[in-house]
Structure 1
Amino acid sequence: MATTAARRREQAKAEHNAFVAACPSHKLLGRISDKWVTLVLAALGSGSAQRPGAGCAGEPRAMRYSELARLLAGVSQKMLTQTLRSLERDGLVTRTVVPTVPVTVSYELTGLGLSLYETIRGLKAWAEVHMDEVLAHRESYDARAV
């Protein structure tokens, strides 16, 4: 009996196992768990043109490269460029070039990127809420280890 292409895709999808190093989902988890990927998605998803830590997230919106660079304290130009390219390649971000003088380039989450943003938003919020507690545990652990 012939297997249809749709059936083969369903079987492959069911066989994805992130615990197996050769699985594409294993590599994808590595990419999306990167600090800069998480922060770029969070910035684009919250429309955050505000200063870091200001709370009150807005609606997802397109942002220019320079806005992202200002918002993401500590990111190098090279790292931001690499991160945005990888997100575009994975279909999570779209890059729009407007032929103005100078050229305007903006980045925006795709539908796929928005679905990932929903997960990342909770992770970012958890980290912000629990950071003091984690720091206290680290301090306690380090004091015992000496």
Structure 2
Amino acid sequence: MAGDVNDTDFQAGDSARCKSEVDRHSTFLIDFSQFGFEPEPTLAESISKGADIVTASADKLIGASQGGIILGRAELIEAVRKNQFARIVRVGKLTLVALEATLKLFLDESIALSQVPTLKMLRRDASDIAKKARRLASQLGKSISNSA
């Protein structure tokens, strides 16, 4: 079935407490297959299919400030938080505020699709992109010939 998490998606956890971990790198919070993209499990689907820990980028497809997101079972997240190396990747207040503001947009899919720049760009019409590319190529050509 499309979008199912299979064995190759899971990696062995480092301890007996964490049986599986999924790194989604760039992931959607909404199902983008409705726009012609290949089915890709959302973060929530990865958790519901049995992953103990799911990690993802906050900035790539979610459109938040640069950073990472760790989701999973409460006791595992608490173990991550208590680890002495957690200080290295501690989130600053401004980053956290930006992430929260972006995630709130996803509470209503239509708002996220209209206001998150990454999502708007991914849904742009190919002819619009081609038109902008031709205009940029023309401007670059003029700039290059003027500097020669």
- The question of a shared fold, defined as TM-score above 0.5 by the shorter chain, is answered with no
More strand by share: 2
More helix by share: 1
| TM-score, structure 1 as length reference | 0.31
| TM-score, structure 2 as length reference | 0.31
